[in-house]
Every structure is written in structure tokens, then in C-alpha cells.
Amino acid sequence: MTTEEEKATAPAGSTRRALAGRLSWGLADQAASSMSNFVVGIYVARSLGVTAFGVFSLAWVTYGVVLNVSRGLATDPLVVRFSGVPDASWRQAVVRASGTALGVGTAIGAVCLVVGLSLGGRVGPAFACLGVLLPGLLLQDAWRFSFFAAGAGRKAFVNDLVWGVALVPAMVVAARVGTVAAFVLAWGASAAVAAVYGCFQSGIRPRLTGARAWLREHRDLGYRYLVENVSLSGASQLRAYGLGAIVGIGAVGAVRGAELLLGPFLAVLMGLSLVTVPEAARVLRQAPHRLGSFCLLLGGGQAAAALLWGGALLLMPDRLGELVLGGVWHSASQLIVPVTLGVAGAGLGTGAAAGLRALGAARRSLRCQLFASACYVGGGLGGAAAAGTVGSAWGVAAATVCGSAVWWLHLRSALRERLHHPVPEVRTS
């Protein structure tokens, strides 16, 4: 009996326990990561005020764009094609995928450094610091996805825990300096510590020279995922820049503050996202007829949880909100309802997105993401022009719900296609 046959005939209870274990480590890892990000955001908001926090948020959003470039080229193909494969195949893939992530960080980091030095003012130093630290930030993220592809979520959790511990003294020093650039340095340098630790955890050294071969072998997925991911984060960046231009930098800080209020739930959402594609890939190999229901349960559960969390936020007293966000609370509290609806729509769509990724339906997922991103930018900036910061938040909420509907329509079509024309997508070498 082959390994796959043994998995297929394993007791249902054992399979559920294994799934629950992997999901638990995904949640624990993202809890550690998001708690660190949440604390950093709250600390910066309270320390620097809404305008400086807006500058920090612009650097943060830019990092998100670069992070999605790295994921599209390096770790997304790794997760789709090397989840649950033999250890030797996984290690060979991780050497090249992590090298690709490091190369992306080095190349784009150099551009950010040059742009930051030329800009000057408040924004320039923050972007210059971001450019220096991008290689470490992207490598740390690559380790997380590599560990989850191997089903070793515990190692990803420990790595993020190391980042969080390193953040403490770094943030203390940044607070004494009192500038946006200092906080960016503290955040990125602590990530670099975790990135180095990941090399010892895995026993793997990233190989920059393997990046070209990795990109060539996985170009059918990598370049489409690159466009898909960049359209997602690029839409967020365009909305942030446009909102700052139309309404003011303070509006960017207000939106980021509202998102921080949803931080604990977003930790759950992002924690599940670390393991949903690997788990969907396993479901596809072991019980393909269950993939649709798995994705529906995943997306529906996340949407319901977002609505519950948003409802709880509406009951939060102003005194507690001011304690958390300081002067950012007043403007952020007005955005709770639309931001919650937007997150609920995104949560519903992630279920379908995980299914399309597992199917390797890169063309379909690319179309969905391009549509969703266009709606996001149009809704966010159109709403800002019509009704300021609140209008932008409502525009994004409507756009996200529309995008989620498109994701599910394409998943349904992809499942029907596979039923009539099954094509194996997962590689093990």
C-alpha cells in the first residue's frame, strides 16, 4: 500500500486530530505574529500621534506589497506543490524558495533605500530603513510558510515568538529616539534576528543561486501568483496613498487604527490562511469531493467570527478605546462597522481562494484577484472623494463583498472542470 493510500484509509478521527493540530499551530503562530504587530501599532499610535502614525502606516503598507511579491514568487508555489511531501523533496525546495525570498528582499530593498534617501522629510528616513531591513523581513516570512508546508507549525510559532521577544528591547530603544524611522528599524531588526534563527531551526541555508531555477520551474504558478498578490497589496497601497492625497495623512492613520481594533480577529484570519492552502491541498489529494464543503466551512466560519468581533467592538466604551489607541480612537471608532463588514467579506472569500490555490487554478485566481483589487481601489478612492474617510471605508466594504462573490463563482466552475477533466497539480520533486 502506498503512502497516499494509507492516508486515504486512515481512521477519520485520526485525520481530524491531525488537521486540528495543524490548524492549532497555525492559530498559535499567527497569534504570536499578530500580537507583536498589534503591540507595535498601538505603541506607535500612542507615541507619535495620528499624522506620524500615518507615515508609519505608509511604510507598513509598502512592506505588505513587497511581502506579497516574495510570497507569489517563492512561498506560494512552495506551499501548493510541496505540502506534505517527503522531507528530502521539501528541503531541496526550501533551499531555493528561501533563496528567492532573500533575493527579492535584497533587490527591492535597494530600490526602497535609494527612494528613501532621495525623499527626505518624515517619509524618506522611514522608507530608507525599510529598504535596509527587507531581506530579513522576507526571509523570516519564508521560514513560516516553509514550516507549515512541512506540517511543522510548531517551528513557525517558535520563530515568531523569537521575533516578539526581540521586539521588546528594540521598541524600548525606539521609544527613546521618538521617530518613525526608529520604530521601523526596531521592527525590522527584530525580524532579522528571527530570520537568522530560522536557519538554525531548519538546518537550511538559503541559496540565492537557486532562485533562477526556482522561478523557471514554477513560472506557471509563480508569475500569476505574483500579479495576483501584488494586485491585492498594491490596491491597499494605492488606496492608502490616494486617501492621504484626497483626505489627508491623518485619514490613513484612522483607517489603520480601525484595522488595529480588529487585530485579534485578523490574527485568527491570518493564522488560518497559513494552513488553509496546505490543508486544502491535502483534502484535494485524499478526498477531492470534500474540497468544496471544506472551503465553504472555512470561509463561512471566518465571516461569522468577524461579524461577532465587530459587534463586540461597538459595545466597547470610549474610555477603553482611548486607553488602547489614544488620540486615534475618535476617528477610528467611526469606521468600525464598515471595516468589520469588509473583513467579513474578505474572510468569506478566503475559503474560495484556498480552494483555487489548492487546485492550482492560477488563471482563475488571478482573474478573481484583479477584479477584487480593481473594486477595492475604486470603492476606496471613490468613497473618499464622495464622503471622506468614512465613505472610503464603506466603499471598501462593498467592494470586498462583491469580490468574494466572484471568488466563489470561479471556485464552483473550477470544481466542475476538475470533475470532468481531472489534472494533477501537486508536485513532489
Q: What tens digit of pLDDT does each residue of 311-351 get?
A: 988 888 888 887 777 777 788 888 899 999 998 998 898 88
Owner of C-alpha cell 517558535: 158
Of 50-54, 110-114, 372-376, where does mean pLDDT reach its minimum?
50-54
Predicted TM-score (pTM) of this structure: 0.68
- The pLDDT value recorded for residue 423 is 47
Most confident region among 22-31, 302-311, 359-368 by mean pLDDT: 302-311
Q: Residue 5: which pLDDT band, with cuts at 50, 70 and 90? A: very low
Model confidence at 209: pLDDT above 70: yes
SS3 content of the chain, % helix, strand, coil (to 5): 90, 0, 10
Model confidence at 422: pLDDT above 90: no
Buried b (16+ CB within 10 A) or exposed e, 160-184: bbbbbebbeebbeebbeeebbbbbb
Q: Is 388 left (phi over 0), alpha (psi -120 to 50) or beta?
A: left
Distance CA 353, CA 375 (A): 17
60, HSE (Cβ side, Cα atoms, 13 Å): 22
Give the sign of the dihedral formed by CA 318, CA 187, CA 21, CA 415: positive
Distance CA 109, CA 106 (A): 5
Distance CA 8, CA 288 (A): 11
49 vs 422, which has greater pLDDT? 49
Instruction: Write the DSSP assignment of 67-124 as a string of letters.
Output: HHHHIIIIIHHHHHHSTT--HHHHHHHHHHHHHHHHHHHHHHHHHHHHHHHHH-TTHH
Closest CA to 241 of 395, 59, 38: 59
- The pLDDT value recorded for residue 19 is 58
Q: Residue 15: which pLDDT band, with cuts at 50, 70 and 90? A: low
Per cent of the chain over pLDDT 70 is 85
Distance CA 189, CA 195 (A): 10
Distance CA 129, CA 188 (A): 8
Task: Find the length of the chain.
Answer: 429
**41, 267 contact by CB (below 8 A):** no
Q: What is the C-alpha R_g of the chain?
A: 21
Q: Residue 7: which pLDDT band, with cuts at 50, 70 and 90? A: very low
Q: What tens digit of pLDDT does each residue of 239-296 get?
A: 887 888 888 877 777 787 787 788 666 666 665 665 677 778 777 777 788 888 888 9
- 367's CB contacts (< 8 A; 6+ apart) are 410
Torsion angle (degrees, nearest 10) of CA 123, 126, 131, 132:
150
- How far are the Cα atoms of 39, 65, 139, 247, 376 from residue 127, in angstroms, in the given order? 21, 13, 19, 22, 25
**213, 194 contact by CB (below 8 A):** no
